[in-house]
Amino acid sequence: MTETIEPQDKSIYYPPGGLLIWIIVFLELLTFGAFLIVFLAYRKADLETFTSAQQVLNSTLGMINTIVLLTSGLFMAAGLVELKKGGIKTHMYLGITIALGILFMALKGYEYYEKIELGIGFNTNQFFVFYWLLTGFHLIHVLVAVVLVSYMLYNIKSGSYSSTNFEDVETAGVFWHMCDLIWIFLFPIIYLLH
CA quadruple 115, 118, 120, 121: dihedral sign: positive
Q: What is the mean pLDDT of the chain?
A: 90
Q: How confident is the model at residue 1 (pLDDT cuts 50, 70, 90)?
A: very low
CATH topology of domain 18-192: Four Helix Bundle (Hemerythrin (Met), subunit A) (1.20.120)
pLDDT value of position 12 = 52
Q: How confident is the model at residue 194 (pLDDT cuts 50, 70, 90)?
A: confident
pLDDT value of position 14 = 60
Distance CA 35, CA 49 (A): 18
pLDDT tens digits, one per residue of 139-168 = 999 999 999 999 999 999 998 888 888 888
Cβ count within 10 A of residue 125: 15
Statement: residue 63 has pLDDT above 60: yes
Percentage of residues in the chain having pLDDT higher than 70: 91
Of 14-28, 52-66, 82-96, the poorest mean pLDDT is in: 14-28
Q: How confident is the model at residue 15 (pLDDT cuts 50, 70, 90)?
A: low
Decide: 39 and 134 in contact? Cβ < 8 Å.
Answer: yes
In 3D space, the residue among 178, 186, 184, 180 whose CA is nearest the CA of residue 20 turns out to be 178
Distance CA 193, CA 50 (A): 10
Statement: residue 69 has pLDDT above 60: yes
Statement: residue 10 has pLDDT above 90: no
Query: Which pTM value belongs to this model?
Result: 0.88
Decide: 169 and 83 in contact? Cβ < 8 Å.
Answer: yes
pLDDT value of position 6 = 42
pLDDT tens digits, one per residue of 17-48 = 677 888 888 999 999 999 999 999 999 999 99
